[in-house]
Amino acid sequence: MTLKYLLDENVDPTYKTQLTRLNPDIIVWVVGEPNTPLRGTLDPQILLWCEEYDFVLVTNNRTSMPVNLCLDVTSSSKTTVVSNKVKGCIKATHP
């Protein structure tokens, strides 16, 4: 299974350029691109989108994402989120 990454609005989109330059086979999409959630989409909908399409969410959101992640942990969700800045309740899943 190929890992697919969705960068949210709080991640500099140049990360996509750098990651795909180093590994052209990697799948990295950015919120607001075609076939992704629109910019301004609320966190719960982004988490649901990532679950539906098997994407790993990459975020630097320290404001609203921790609350939504903690709510997500209590559900049966299989969403995976990668962040180096979110403190508190973090959920990481493995297939």
Q: CA-CA distance, 77 to 47, in Å (whole number)?
A: 9
In a domain, 50, yes or no: yes
pLDDT bracket for residue 92 (50, 70, 90): very low
Q: Which of 17-26, 34-43, 85-94 has the lowest mean pLDDT?
A: 85-94
pLDDT in tens, 53-81: 989 888 887 676 766 566 554 455 555 55
In a domain, 45, yes or no: yes
What pLDDT score does 34 carry?
A: 97
pLDDT bracket for residue 1 (50, 70, 90): low
Question: In which domain, by residue range, is 78 found?
Answer: 4-82
Q: CA-CA distance, 90 to 22, in Å (whole number)?
A: 28
Radius of gyration from C-alpha coordinates of the chain: 13
Q: CA-CA distance, 80 to 77, in Å (whole number)?
A: 9
In a domain, 94, yes or no: no
What pLDDT score does 91 carry?
A: 46
Q: What's 37's DSSP letter?
A: P
Number of domains forming the structure of the chain: 1
In a domain, 89, yes or no: no
In order of 17, 28, 56, 80, the CA distances from 51 in angstroms are 24, 15, 8, 8
Phi-psi region of 10 (alpha: psi -120 to 50; beta: other; left: phi over 0): alpha
In a domain, 12, yes or no: yes
pLDDT bracket for residue 95 (50, 70, 90): very low
In a domain, 91, yes or no: no
